[in-house]
Amino acid sequence: MTNPRVYDADGEIDAEATRELRNRPPLTTEEIEEMLLEADKIENEYFKLRAKAVISFAKKFGKRRSEITSLERADVKVENGFLYVTFTLRKKHKRGLFQYLKFLKKNEPSALAKPLSELELDWREWAQTKEGYIIKEEKRTKSVDAFDRYAKIILAYLNFLDDEYPDAKYVFPSGKEVFGSYVVFGDKHLSGRHLLRMIKPLNPKAWMHLFRETKGADIAKALGRTLTAVYEVRETLDLENEQTAIRYVRRYAVQEMKAEREVIAYE
């Protein structure tokens, strides 16, 4: 889980509050509903609907904040009574040792004379630089009944967005206050940090990644310690491998022990 931090009035990290926050359990349905009720108190209609939509996307799909902010309006559609959302996954893949040697041959050929053990250490450091990895984009489409509780909240926001800002490219376009009015920059989207600033007033003990943790936990609790649970967690959260999904299942699923009958002794 992404580690949140709590700062005091002087801008210093409050160690005790941070520790408490990091150890908090996943969000409950009641907490999420309370956040929606808090959002209803926002006077600006656009800001209110937007905040509720962010909560609903995070609750229903458990996606990373970058995957939510990068959603384009064309990625969200309603067809045959279902809401379809296509998320863009950007995954970092480090380049292998062979690619590092090719990089050295072109940029620093003298370094190839180093022992293999040193080259391997240099490669691991290089893999952390922008030359040492590539970003691969993949698309994943999810669907939910359009009459779902959270789908209806998302659609209410999108209807408002289409009416007020029909040229917005992104579902959550960037913008700023200008002379008392909010101006949208349709070709840019909000940052992940902006989503966090949107969520915190609604629940100081919530952050975006906690919704993802909650989604994985809900699946694990519902399906138990089974291979089905591992598969569903991985597919829902679009995880890179099973190991992370297994950790969710181990952390949140209850292991059911086999019942045994009382042994009755006969004289």
Residue found under tokens 């609907």: 49
Q: Does 107 reside within a domain?
A: yes
Which amino acid makes up residue 176? K
Residue found under tokens 């931090």: 5
Q: Does 100 reside within a domain?
A: yes
Q: Does 66 reside within a domain?
A: no
Phi/psi at 258 (5° precision): -65, 130
Q: Does 132 reside within a domain?
A: yes
198 to 17, 25, 131, 190: CA distances (angstroms):
20, 21, 34, 11
The string of pLDDT tens digits covering residues 111-154 is: 888 888 888 888 888 888 888 877 788 899 999 999 999 999 99
Phi/psi at 18 (5° precision): -65, -40
Q: Please tell me the total count of domains within the chain.
A: 1
The string of pLDDT tens digits covering residues 118-128 is: 888 888 888 88
Neighbours of 139 (CB within 10 A): 9
- Stretch 232-251: mean pLDDT: 92
The candidate with the shortest Cα–Cα distance to 108, out of 95, 96, 123, 130, is 123
Question: Does position 98 have pLDDT exceeding 90, yes or no?
Answer: no
pTM for this predicted structure: 0.78
| β-pair type (82-94, 181-189) | unpaired
Residue found under tokens 């990068």: 70
Structural domain for 112, as ranges: 90-141
Question: Does position 96 have pLDDT exceeding 90, yes or no?
Answer: no
Q: Does 99 reside within a domain?
A: yes
* Residue ranges with strand state E in 73-229: 76-79, 82-94, 133-145, 173-178, 181-189
Question: Does position 9 have pLDDT exceeding 70, yes or no?
Answer: no
Q: Does 110 reside within a domain?
A: yes
Q: Does 59 reside within a domain?
A: no
Q: Does 19 reside within a domain?
A: no
Measured CA to CA, the distance from residue 204 to residue 197 in angstroms comes to 10
